[in-house]
Amino acid sequence: MKIGIDIMGGDFAPEEAIKGVLAYLASHSDSGIGVHFVLIGSPDIAAPYLSLLDGYQSHFTLVPAATVIDMHEHPTKALKEKQDSSIAIGFGLLQMGKIDAFFSAGNTGAMLVGAMYTVKAIPGVLRPTIASPIPKLDGKFNFLLDVGANADCKPEHLVQFAVMGSLYAKHVLKLENPRVGLLNLGEEEGKGNILAQTTYPLLKQHSGINFKGNVEGRDLFLDNCDVIVCEGFTGNIALKVAESIYNIFTDSRKIQDEFLDQFNYEIYGGTPILGVNAPVLIGHGISNARAFKSSIESAINLVESNFTNILKESFAENSSGAA
């Protein structure tokens, strides 16, 4: 298995990216390392940190990239003009099948554009989606989607998010018959805006998902479902609120709590883009070594589960995305 990593992406690149690779290799050296890392970035900038991997020379390859897509750059314009950037090269390798998955903590927009126009959406998928874990009080987590890729959606988009989220929960997270909830402002059927009111009956009648009805914002951290769907505008706000809870209580107020610890993004690392023809994961811009290690583990799970092919088969069987 070959995992491609943009070592130039993120605020602390390439040091933390390389340290994350080292952490993974060191933790798996006793049990055997079945992964080869394709590190994409500037040899000159990475040189001071590559010596950390001297003991694992056979487990990584450095692919040179002359430029970097900065966080502030326009995604489409930057990808078009910077074909020699670490993100563009990574997607090129993924498209050619030279890596099995690609991860970056760099420009999120560029990652989305690259996924859509390089590896492209799976036939039948109307809109790929970004999903993110939200911790539950019981130590598990809800899988929330979309969290920012699609600010405006139609009912059929949310239905497909539910299908993709259910398949991910079942085959990657190993949850039997995952429960799906529609994020809304009330539990009763008929509540919400036009999007929610129109989506509800479509989810209710869909045979491929275990729909449990509406869930409210207070249900995000409870064990009332496993997959929560909404449009990206609402999902991103919910995700950022969850992140702020962690920052306020742990950083500002110095409160230590097992539940709060589960909000630490470092535990989960990169979040997957569901609905494209190859495994792609996006990391937080402030990713450190622990977050990179977690992202590597998520990428490996995604490849080992054969999730992309499962998704392709599902949408090939039914153009509406029935599982």
Q: What is the pLDDT of residues 267-313, one digit of tens each?
A: 777 889 999 999 999 998 888 999 999 999 999 999 999 999 999 99
Backbone angles phi, psi at 183, to 5 degrees: -70, 125
Is the backbone peptide bond immediately before 146 cis, with ω within 30 degrees of 0?
A: yes
**According to CATH, where is 3.40.718.10 located in the chain?**
1-125+275-306, 126-264
Task: Please report which confidence band the pLDDT of residue 32 belongs to, taking 50, 70 and 90 as the band edges.
Answer: low
Q: Would you say domain 1-125+275-306 falls under CATH 3.40.718.10?
A: yes
Percent of the chain with pLDDT over 90: 77
- What are the pLDDT digits (tens) for 64-103? 999 999 989 999 999 999 999 999 999 999 999 999 999 9
Query: Which pLDDT does position 287 carry in this prediction?
Result: 87
Task: Please report which confidence band the pLDDT of residue 195 belongs to, taking 50, 70 and 90 as the band edges.
Answer: very high
Q: Exposed/middle/buried for 81, CB within 10 Å: 0-12, 13-18, 19+?
A: middle
* CA triple 313-319-270, angle to 5 deg: 60
Query: Which pLDDT does position 319 carry in this prediction?
Result: 57
CA diameter of the chain: 61
CATH topology of domain 126-264: Isopropylmalate Dehydrogenase (3.40.718)
Structure-token pair, residue 130: 């970004």
Backbone angles phi, psi at 283, to 5 degrees: -105, 165
One-letter amino acid at 265 equals: Y
Closest CA to 238 of 138, 125, 103, 130: 130
Q: Is the pLDDT of residue 320 over 60?
A: no
Q: Are residues 280 and 254 in contact, defined by beta-carbon separation less than 8 angstroms? A: no
Find the helix packing angle between 289-304 and 15-28, rounded to 10°: 60
Q: Which of 163-172, 204-213, 263-272 shows the lowest per-residue confidence on average (mean pLDDT)?
A: 263-272
- What are the pLDDT digits (tens) for 103-126? 999 999 999 999 999 999 999 999
Closest CA to 137 of 218, 223, 235: 223
Per-position b or e across 45-67, b if 16+ CB within 10 A of its CB? ebeebbebbeebeebbebbebeb
Q: Exposed/middle/buried for 83, CB within 10 Å: 0-12, 13-18, 19+?
A: exposed
Closest CA to 63 of 81, 42, 92, 79: 42
- SS3 (DSSP) at 31: coil
HSE of 144, CA atoms in CB hemisphere, 13 A? 30
Closest CA to 120 of 84, 95, 148: 95
Is the backbone peptide bond immediately before 14 cis, with ω within 30 degrees of 0?
A: yes
User: pTM for this structure?
Assistant: 0.90
Percent of the chain with pLDDT over 70: 97
- SS3 (DSSP) at 269: coil
Which residues have C-beta within 8 Å of that of residue 146, sequence separation ≥ 6? 129, 130, 131, 153, 161, 229, 230, 231, 232, 235
One-letter amino acid at 79 equals: L
- What are the pLDDT digits (tens) for 127-157? 999 999 999 988 889 999 999 999 999 999 9
